[in-house]
Amino acid sequence: MRLLFDVGNSRVKWAIVDAGEIRHSGVLPPGAGTRAAIEAGLDGLPAPDSAAAISVAAPGRIDELASVCREAFGLELEVVCTPTEGGGVQVAYHRPVELGTDRWAAMVGALAHGWLPAIVIDCGTAVTIDLLGEDGRHHGGMILPGLGTMRRSLHAGTHGLPAVSDGALPLLADNTADAIRAGTFHGLAAMIGGLEAVIRRAHGEEPATVITGGDAPALRGHLPGHVEFAPQLVLEGLAHYLDMRDAE
């Protein structure tokens, strides 16, 4: 039984995985609620015998999770870094450490599902788009601002544009707040769809489109063609990598 964490810039997702199957998953609250949330999720399940994490966030959150694993379960938290090759994925970056572990794990997750070749899209604080070939070779990728990042940037970088949260998404708005929501949302969907088309033309393949991340549920219906939605893709990829590694 594995205890796994995906530590992002905005939130921490976690899962209990047994024999490659996610038995429980959720999003952790910060601070004192972390241990209680994990213990509640484990109710009725055997205690985990290992713990691992990937992280693109500041070290403090990992330190907190490591303390919880040690104090609650007597486990040392393994922090997995992006390998040159791992989980069946050959990373394109000359310096693999520069490729976020969430991007690598998402590609491993796509491979584990059999979605090859694939354009793997992760819609979080940043949006990442990566092309994974039929043979597991990573052809590289792109990074662009996520939906919330776009909206915060407009508020912070201008005089008079308000901070906005989720709300109405008209095509053409009749007030400033809705105009920001609509412009950023429809603009991001069009940007992702356009970049997808450019990648397909450049590589002459017909890859599957795989989407994950916090904004994926809202965006997936606005992308062209069939889209594979995998909300746990990063954690599934991490679990697949650890199973492959431990079987060697």
Q: Who's near 240: CB < 8 A, 6+ residues apart?
A: 20, 87, 108, 109, 111, 112
Q: Give the orientation angle of helix 233-247 with respect to helix 101-113, to 10 degrees.
A: 80
Write the single-letter amino acid at 48: P
One of 6, 102, 122, 130 is an active-site residue; which one?
102
Asked if 102 is an active-site residue, the reply is yes
Backbone phi, psi, residue 223, to 5°:
-100, 150
| Distance in Å from the first CA to the final CA of the chain | 18
Q: Who's near 67: CB < 8 A, 6+ residues apart?
A: none
The residues annotated as belonging to the active site are 102
